Structure 1
Amino acid sequence: MAKNNEANQETASGFNPAEFFQETKEELAKVVWPSRQQVISESLAVLSMVALIASLIYFIDKFFGWAATQVFG
């Protein structure tokens, strides 16, 4: 029953922007942010994998294009 009263009070009071930003600031303080080196190394890993997969798709496409011209003339 106490939870119903709390829920009703929250919805009845409406949205408070100052309280929202304060709570957001508190939550962001709890986040464990990565170091600059970690961000750089993980970004390079992602870009490398994207380049690798894009190259793989390109060569597979070229191969199937070549094969299609061989079969269908």
Structure 2
Amino acid sequence: MAIDTRGETAGKPSGEKKRTSPALFYRQVVAELRKVIWPTRKELVTYTTVVMVFVLIMVGIIYGLDAAFGWAVLQIFGG
């Protein structure tokens, strides 16, 4: 079948979808997961630690800004 310029297959209505079975889908998922390079335990612990430290730093910055702006609003508008 020829492909037209819009990327659709010639001869098929554009609204028609290709049907796949659940078994085929499962096999394709398993095949894709086998291609993944999974991290080692050491890498996973390192990545998790880096993310947790980053999140804690961001929480501290947001808390500090919130407290500073809250104090400034109270100074300006009283309360």
More relative contact order in 1 or in 2 (CA 8 Å, sep 6+)?
A: 2
Same fold (TM over 0.5): yes
Amino acid paired to 1:49: F
Counterpart in the other structure of 1:34: 39
- Partners of 2:22 and 2:76 in 1: CA distance: 66
Q: Whose helix proportion is higher, 1 or 2?
A: 1
Shift of 1:54: 1.0
Q: Which runs of 5+ in 1 are unaligned?
A: none
Taking the aligned partners of 1:29 and 1:70, their CA distance within structure 2 comes to: 60
Whether 1:61 and 2:30 are equivalent positions in the alignment is no
Rounded to whole Å, the distance in 2 between the matches of 1:53 and 1:35 is 27
Q: TM-score, normalised by structure 2?
A: 0.67
TM-score by length of structure 1 reads: 0.71
Report the residue type matching 1:39 in the other structure: L
Stretches (4+) displaced over 3 A: none
1:20 aligns with 2:33: no
The one-letter amino acid paired with 1:20 is: F
> Which letter does structure 2 place at the counterpart of 1:35?
T
Aligned residues: 68
Deviations 1:12-65 (A, max 9, x none): xx3222222222212211111111111111111111111111111111111111
